[in-house]
Structure 1
Amino acid sequence: MSTILVRTPVITGLGELFTTHGLSKKTVVLFDEHTRKLYGESLLQTLHDEGFQCKELVVPAREASKSFSVAYRIYGSMIEADVDRSWNLLAVGGGVIGDLGGFIAASYFRGIPVIQLPTTLLAMTDSAIGGKVAINHPLGKNLIGFFHLPELILIDPSYLKTLPQREIYSGMAEVVKYGFIADEPFFNFLDLHFSDITSLKEPFLTEAIKKSAFIKADVVEKDFRETDGLRATLNFGHTFAHGLEKLAEYRYLRHGEAVTIGMVCALFLSYNLGYLDQQSLERGLSLLKRFRFPKGVVKRRFVAIDSELLLENMLSDKKKLDKKLRFVLLKKLGEAFLLEESVDESIVLKSIDDGRRFFSGKEAC
């Protein structure tokens, strides 16, 4: 499994770290335009000082970079630089770079090692961990990809100081998810220190990142290829979220924002189907009520959307199996399960309506 390091500064001593893990000092360093500007000089200087041979590559900082055309261009640059299977790839950025870099590493020379250096809260606690790497297709996100575990995941919480508040709340959705699905004491910790974490206060921020990262790593180790339903629990709220993202054209709603809304709907669905008691429902909703969205986003992208239209778009979700929606539900706070049987559409629609009423009138701070 991957080795996860959480520390500040995380890039100190990379030469020794790579050697210890059997990695060469020949590294393709993949940035997007933002991460190159923010971290490129210090990182590349550190690598140079520690004797690395590097090939630097930069792609646009947008979702559209997760495409065959961008990957093809990167392959060409790597071939021209004589990059062979003795090299590795260091992906520096958020989910887009982590996915793109992992996809390229998994496919180039039939697979070279990838090292993830996530720079967003969402990537640090979710997308950089677990080895699912993919690019998009015009007909859907993340449809073409591999399982390719990173050799190292290097997490530096201080990088989050460069992020706008919207990105912090977006990443916090995945953090909270782990409390819901796997660890009630962690849920209680998040409930108690939510504002400390979103304000990037220590030691609460680092504790939340570490706990989230290791919960996901543990789930992935037990069910790497999602064969027994355990890894599927990581998709709590995501069936609703993917429908919302599609309706927002993957542009106007952050993934974490969609997941936050999706978790509200999933809580109501768990309650409406009789799995979750009312007290747990209310505790879960109370925590999710503390999330903040840009003004008008929830109203335009969820509350104002017809429930039947959302359900229709959920049915195009790649997570469905045999054209059947798969829902991750809660039996209690800290215990999730994958519901195998079909759910009556009327109950799904009621849960969406319940979620819309929950968010009705809610605006950003």
Structure 2
Amino acid sequence: MSEIIVSTPVTEDIAVLFDKHGLARKTVVLFDENTRKLIGNQILDSLDRQGFIWKELVIPARETSKSFRTAMKLYTEMIEAHVDRGWNLLAVGGGVVGDLGGFVAASFYRGIPVIQLPTTLLAMTDSAIGGKVAINHPLGKNLIGFFHMPQLVLIDPAWLNTLPEREIYAGMAEVVKYGFIADRQFLSYLDEHFDEIVAVKDPYVTYAIRTSAMIKADVVEKDFKEESGLRATLNFGHTFGHGLEKLADYRHIRHGEAVALGMVCALILSEMLGTITEEELQQGLNVLSRFKFRKGLVEKHFKVHPAQKILESMHSDKKKVDSALRFVLLDGLGKAFLHRETLDDELITGAIEKAKTFC
């Protein structure tokens, strides 16, 4: 498994960490435009002080950057800079940079090491951990990719102070997810300290990040390539969420926002199937009610769509098998399972309609 470091400042001894893991001090540093502006000089100055040779690459800060077109542009810049298999790639940013950077690293020269340096709460607790890297296709998100484990994951909670509130709440969706699927006590902790965490206050935010990262790392280690069904439980709320993202052209709703809405649907579906009690449903919905959404977002990108249309969009999700949707549901709060049987469309659309009345 990757070594996960959570500290501030996390880049202070990055050369020592690279040496420990047998990584060359020759690295491609990938930013998006926002991250480059906010912390780029700090990162590159630190690399200079510690004797690195680096090549800087910058991509637009949007989901559409996860494309073959952008990847090809990065390959060209790397080849022209004489980057070879002796280099590695440091992905500095949120989920888009981490996914695209990992995809490029996995495919360049048939694979060079990648180091993830996430700067958003969502990336720190989810997308930077576990080695699933991908780009999007017009017919679906994350359909083309690799399993390419990072050599290191370097997390600095202090960087969250540079994020707008909307990004913090989007990241909290993944944090809360871990409580639902693996740790009921952690879910209670999040409910109790939700306000402190979204305000980026310590020790609450660091504890939430570290706990989330360790839960994901443990699941990934036990089921790296999603063969037993355990790793699939990390997708709680995601089948519904990816359907909403596709309807919004992957632009108008954040991944975490879609997952938060998807978890409402999945909780309700779990209760409809009798795998959680009505009391547990209310406890879960109480936690999810703490989320703040941009004005009009729920109406424009969830409630406006007929449940059948959302279901049709969900069918493009990569988590279906033999054209059947797979749902991660709860067997009580703190324990998730992959529901392998095909569910009736009426049951799924019914859960969506009930979720609309809550949101």
TM-score under structure 2 normalisation?
0.99
Q: Secondary structure at the match of 1:316?
A: coil
The amino acid that maps onto 1:87 is: W
Q: Deviation at 1:52? A: 0.5
2:102 is the alignment partner of 1:102: yes
Q: How many residues are aligned here?
A: 359
Q: Secondary structure at the match of 2:331?
A: strand
Render the CA deviation track for 1:144-175: whole Å, top value 9, x for unaligned: 11000000000000100011100000000000
The amino acid that maps onto 2:121 is: L
Does the Cα contact within 8 Å between 2:28 and 2:89 map onto a contact in 1?
Answer: yes
Distance 2:245 2:355 in 1: 16
Aligned to 2:340: 340
Distance 2:287 2:20 in 1: 42
Unaligned runs of 5+ in 2: none
Q: Secondary structure at the match of 1:347?
A: helix
Q: Deviation at 1:136? A: 1.2
Distance 1:301 1:59 in 2: 27
Q: Deviation at 1:304? A: 2.0
Aligned to 2:283: 283
Aligned to 1:247: 247
Q: Secondary structure at the match of 1:324?
A: coil
Render the CA deviation track for 1:204-228: whole Å, top value 9, x for unaligned: 0000000001100100000000000
Q: Secondary structure at the match of 1:112?
A: coil
Aligned to 2:57: 57
Does the Cα contact within 8 Å between 2:113 and 2:151 map onto a contact in 1?
Answer: yes
Distance 1:106 1:87 in 2: 12
Listed as ranges, the matches of 1:53-202 within 5 Å are 53-202=53-202
Q: Deviation at 1:200? A: 0.8
More divergent stretch after superposition (54-63 vs 285-294): 54-63
Q: Deviation at 1:191? A: 0.8
Render the CA deviation track for 1:58-95: whole Å, top value 9, x for unaligned: 11111121111111111111111111111100000000
Aligned to 1:362: none
Q: Deviation at 1:16? A: 1.0
TM-score under structure 1 normalisation?
0.97
Q: Deviation at 1:355? A: 0.1
Distance 1:295 1:61 in 2: 22
Q: Deviation at 1:261? A: 0.5
Aligned to 1:36: 36
Render the CA deviation track for 1:112-131: whole Å, top value 9, x for unaligned: 00000000000000000010
Aligned to 1:312: 312
The amino acid that maps onto 2:341 is: E
Q: Deviation at 1:12? A: 0.3
Distance 1:74 1:123 in 2: 21
Distance 1:315 1:88 in 2: 36
Distance 2:76 2:343 in 1: 47
Q: Secondary structure at the match of 2:153?
A: strand
Listed as ranges, the matches of 1:251-262 within 5 Å are 251-262=251-262
Q: Deviation at 1:292? A: 0.4
Distance 2:316 2:54 in 1: 41
Unaligned runs of 5+ in 1: 360-365
The amino acid that maps onto 2:95 is: G
